[in-house]
Each structure stands twice: as structure tokens, then as C-alpha cells.
Structure 1
């Protein structure tokens, strides 16, 4: 009887030890149905596979990057979220959308690794005859509403002297491909990591032209230049020069160094495998760390130093 009791106790202790060793991470990114939510699903699967189940990532839907940053105030060391690096500086300074909302916990935010950038796409139907941004005059464009792409698209229309010269369609971006097929619009603007699902659909189902920007236009936007390689979309015979907004995965200093190291190391080791099934991961390289303008987590720094990845003083 005593032997059975001892065996049961030993088995219970072994199970308890296994549970304690397992890292549980909450990953908050974007709304369901978006490319960034899909990335979260892919990342969760990759972390589980890459750690043999030692780290389990639970995905949470988010209303956007601002909410992700704001939740740092109430979250613990298991919290990982995505946001453009620029928002971290704004949050710390209490500027723009963080006005009167600054909090000391924002100073504890630490970066782990870059993820695919938000990439601007000006997608025009082949029948529209539009070959450049300047040709948009007199055309009907769908921007959608409430998204980064909509806000950025409206800004570009103003910057490039097209305000009042294009008709903006009052419809949701989810209707863009159908509206393009039916000839209700000449084109649409979307911001997503390339290859973007709605652009893939539009290019495959109807002829489209993805517009390139000049270097002067890119400079005018004050965004990061990005090149979408030829062949990314059906019928795209040449590179497309456009703009992007870098995005990264963050934790806080509450996360242990070992956990941050494990997540960062596993991400980079699994990146190529993720890129085989989802090409947008192929655009992520260590060079993109230059676009992260705040401190990296000490655990992430340990990995990058082991891997020989150069870091800036700002990262430390």
C-alpha cells in the first residue's frame, strides 16, 4: 500500500514539474481575419513546434496597436504584443493617441524581433489605364475606413496633389475585390504585409496594376522605402517601389531573460519554415532590427550576440 502511495506521489510530482517547466505566452496582435492575426496563428504553431511544446502561445484578438500598448499597464511577464516601433516612443512621451495616457510601465517595454511590415499597395484595375500615382486623377478609389491603410492612403492623396481630384468610394475594404471586378471602382488602397491576401485575390481574378512610387514620393511620405519583388503577384512583371511601416513583437522587462531568449531564438530558427507556407515571413531579416528604435529585451540581446547580429547602442 505504501509502495503504491509513493509511486502515485512520484508520478504527481513529475507531472507538476512538467507543467511548471512549460512556458505559457499570451500573444496579442490584431483583429481576426486580418493578415496579422494569421501571422499570430503561424507564430504560435512555430513556437510550439520549435520548442517541442515547451512554450505554448495563446493568441488573443486585438483592436489594434494602440490597445496592445495600453494593455502593458495591466499585463504580466507572459505578455507579447505587436506594434509599430514609433508607437512606443509616442506612448512614453504621452503624445498623439497617447496624450494624457502616459504610464511608467511604458518604459518597461522591450523588443524581441521584427515581423512583416505594413506595406502600402495602390492596386488599380488593368482597364483603368493607370500606370503611375499621377494618373489617379479622375479615378474612383476605395480606401476603406478606420485602418492604417485608409489613413495613410488619404494622406498620400493630399501629399501628391490629388485631393479633390479623385473620387473616394464609400465602402468597406472587404468589398474592394468584388467592387473592382464589377467596375464600381478603378482601384483600392490597402496596407498589409506582402503578399497581401486581398491583392493576391484581385491579381488572380482580374488584371491589376500595382503602382510604384518615385524616390521623391517615398521621401515625401517620410515612411520606410520597401520593394515588392517582381512576381510577387500574378501579372507583376517588375519590382514595385512603395512605402512601409515597420512592426515588431514586444514584451516587457517583467518577462524573464530565459523566456525572451527562447522566444527570440525559436522565432529565427523557425522563420524559414514559416516562409515556406506563408511568403511574408521571407521578407523578415535581421537587418530589420535597424528599424526598432527602442531597447531590446536582455534575453533577446543574448540571442543576437550569440548569433553575431550587430546591434546599436539604442538596442541596449
Structure 2
């Protein structure tokens, strides 16, 4: 193992090898375990008093007992993905030079709200850059289409600026459209944000639009996918749940009924009851109308009221912890 990466103990190395790509996958090579597969295997290891690092020392013993009920996690596959230590060392060294760190489910810095909600299907690893402490702050997830008009853009900016005033963290996907608009509006107003990315974390780590906010400790960008992963619809859909569960409440600015990641994420949240769902009220978007008709809470901009956003979110038990001023208002008694 590269000495520069000796900071990672055997267990972290094993988790990485089991769950992470280190470069673009090649045809025919064994794939690391998905989050669901890893969860299934990790639970079994725990039940039999093994850890992921036990695979380095007791591989034959473990595989003599392990039988995957789905038939996917085989001895050959595990052998191949565990043999990638050299590739892991090179990749970690490259990513570290760009300021990228990693946390596993066992680390205290791992987003605890997300872990509590998703439990065994939580990603085994998050890669990230920026202020790790923000991962425990929760906040308001702001979600919407990539293509938005001026009205939705202005609404998103105003919500994010208000959130910054009330010390409510913004959680979003750092993608073009609503996500990026919300994050940048909050950050430029002195607020904070978590960006849960589906791809290209390495590029984002050095992007000019995020650099100042990363340096100012206002921002953390994370991804459950390896830092050089390109865009895929599957990854974008998979990370929806991480945006919702890293927050205390969610706001859909614009959704089209029956299609797109915004709609899929809102339905997934409704089915799992992760967090209260708010929806922009004054909208002709088909998804907004349908979500409101099915129990989502309407949200309109308000003015000339102190902490109106905190009060609105608190009314649905959305934000449980805000700044001291809001707490002094005894919103949660």
C-alpha cells in the first residue's frame, strides 16, 4: 500500500476495495459491490463477527460460510475487487492532491441524519471536499428541474437567501438549474450548503464557482461515486435519496409529473416518509400540482416576517435545530 495512504486503516481500505471504482470500468472486469450489495454483505459479516478487513486474513474461512442469497457476491468477484490495492493507492494519491477526503459509515463525520434514515443501504463511502462539519447540520433540501424560467429562478434565489438569513443550511445536488441556483444564492448571501453530487467531484473540487466558498468553510461537496465518475442517469437517480436524507425537510421548486429525477425523488421520499415535503405553490408545473394534491405542503414567499421560513418548516417538524435566535422564539415547544 502506498505509504501516503497508510492513514487509512485496513478496514477502510477493505471498504474502499469492496465498494469503489478507482477508474472508468473496463468491459469484463469485476464490478465493486453496489450500496445494496455492500449492505447485505456487511450485515452478514457483522453477524458472524467478521469485519471487512477480515477478508485480508480469513478469506477462505469467510467464503466457506458465505452464500449470497442473490447469487451476485461470489468468491471470484470478491477476489478480483480486493486485488486492486495498487490501483487504489494511485487513485487516492491523485484525489488527495486535489483536496479530496473520504469518510466511511463507521466515521463520526459521516452524515448522521442520512445514516439514521437509510441504515444498511447508506453508501459505504462518501468522497468529499470542503467543510465536513456541515454534514451534521441538516437543513432544507432544495430540488428542481435543470431547465427553469426566470420566475422559478428568482423564487429559488429568494428562498436560499432567506435560508441564509435564518442560518438554515441548503442541501442540493449541485447540478445546473434549481440545485446550483439555490446553493450559490445561499453561499453568496453568507449561508452554507451541502452539494450531493452524482458525478465529477474531482472537477468540482477545483471549479471557480465553488472555490471561494470551499475556502471560506461555507460549503461541502460529497459524492458516493468515485471522484472521476462521469454523468449517468442511474447515478443521478440513486443520489436523490442522499439529498433528502441529509436534510430535515425538502422543497420542490419545479417538477414534471411522471418524469425526471425531481419527480422520482419526490415520490421516493413520499413512499419512505424521510422528510416533510414542501412544494412551490404558485406554479403551473404538472408535478407541483400533483404533489400538492397528494399532501405536499404549499410554500410561498413571505416578507416582513422574522424567521418566517423557520416557522413554516417547524410547522411540519421539518427543521429541528436552527440558530439561537430562532430557538429563543420557542418555535418547538
Query: Normalising to structure 2: TM-score of the pair?
Result: 0.24
Q: Which has the larger radius of gyration?
A: 1
Structure 1 or 2: larger strand share?
A: 1
Query: Normalising to structure 1: TM-score of the pair?
Result: 0.25
